[in-house]
Structures are given as structure tokens and as C-alpha cells.
Amino acid sequence: MRYITVALTKGRLARQTLDLFERIGIRAEGADDSRTRKLIFSNEELGIRFFMAKGPDVPTYVAYGAADLGIVGRDTILEEGRKIYEVLDLGYGRCRMCICGPESAREALNSGDQIRVATKYPNIAKDYFLNRRHQTVEIIKLNGSIELAPIVGLSEVICDIVETGSTLRENGLAVLEEVCPISARVVVNQVSMKMESERINDLITRLKEALNES
């Protein structure tokens, strides 16, 4: 039997997803060992294996068919823009993509001036300002600690993820606008969806049932 390969986003999302798979009777040998450096775990009996990847790489593995399925945040799906099917909202990993900054930046944001927007998500930010706000902005790509940018004067605002809001609060920033809600999604390779439709649809149905029970 051919393996069904599932790409997981390393970290909390992977742990929550492995728990969910366990609830539908799919356990991957060794995956629950928090000290392990292993990247791939399989369940030989069921012909399913899981591997751990960085979030932005999950849509890449799925698009190329190196993974049949992937579990990844909607932020990453939107940012990467790969040709993959999004088939299920898992409901966890909930947060919001927002435009944030000091309250004083609201005026610049609404003035139509060419402001600077720092972000780890240049495509999402570009799309939001161009297609929804019809505003030209300068996008500055950063790789983390995005909240620093307006504080030290790199940009007027940021486009970033807000979960509890504590990073913003502790740094004197606020949500100025909401771009979209985010949560973890199941994505599927387009060829796998045809070739392995029975096994994949069965998996999706069981995951859905487990989510409805909780």
C-alpha cells in the first residue's frame, strides 16, 4: 500500500494535529516524544506517515506532491499562494491577521499617503492594500518581532498576526484594522485528491467527526 504522507507545521500546530489524529485511531510511532529530533514518523499498519516542516514550506511540499496532505495556518496558505485544495477548517490555531500600529498612525493610514508597512506576509499585505483599500504603500519584509518596526520608526504600521493581543499591548500598539481571521486548515495535493480520493475523503470525514464531537 502506498503511504499517505501528511506534512505538519512544526510546533504547537503539529502537536494539536497529532492529538486529533490519535482521536481517530491514527498514532504515529515516536511522534509524541518531545525530545526527539526525528522529522518523520509513520504508522506502518495504516500506511500513513507524518513529517514536520516549517509552516511556509508545508504548501510547497503539498503542491509538489511530496506530501498528499498538509496542516497549515490560513495565513501561510494565503501568503504562499500555491495551487492546492483547502478542504477543512480545523478550528484551532485561531488568530487574526491585522493592520496594527500606534493609535497615532490611524491618521496616516487613512490619509492615503504612501505609508510603510512592515510584515512577514508581503503578499497578504500587498493584496489588502491594493485590492481592498485601493492604496499604494511601501511593503517592508521582516522575519520576526514585527512589532518593533513602528516603535523604532521603520514603518508607520505593520501587517501581522494577533492572537491574545499581549505583544501589541506590551509595546503600546493597537489593532487598527482587521484583514482576515486565521485558523489551521487541511490542504490537499490536487493529483492526490483524484488518485487517492477514497482514503483522503475517509480521513477528512473522520477528522470532521472528531472535531464535531469535541
Binding site for ligand PRP (CB under 6 A): 120, 144-147, 160-167
For ligand PRP, the closer CB: 10 or 206: 10
- Report yes or no: 185 and 89 within 8 Å, Cβ to Cβ: yes
Nearer to ligand PRP (CB atom), residue 13 or residue 161: 161
Query: Which residue's beta carbon is nearest to the bound ligand PRP?
Result: 144
**CB nearer to ligand PRP: pick between 66 and 102:** 102
Q: How far is the CB of 149 from ligand PRP (least distance, A)?
A: 11
The contacts of residue 119 (CB under 8 Å, 6+ apart) are 125, 139, 140, 141, 142, 146, 158, 159, 160
Closest contact distance (angstroms) between CB of 170 and ligand PRP is 8
Nearer to ligand PRP, 131 or 166 (CB): 166
Per-residue DSSP letters for 67-86?
Answer: SSEEEEEHHHHHHH--S-EE
Q: How far is the CB of 8 from ligand PRP (least distance, A)?
A: 17
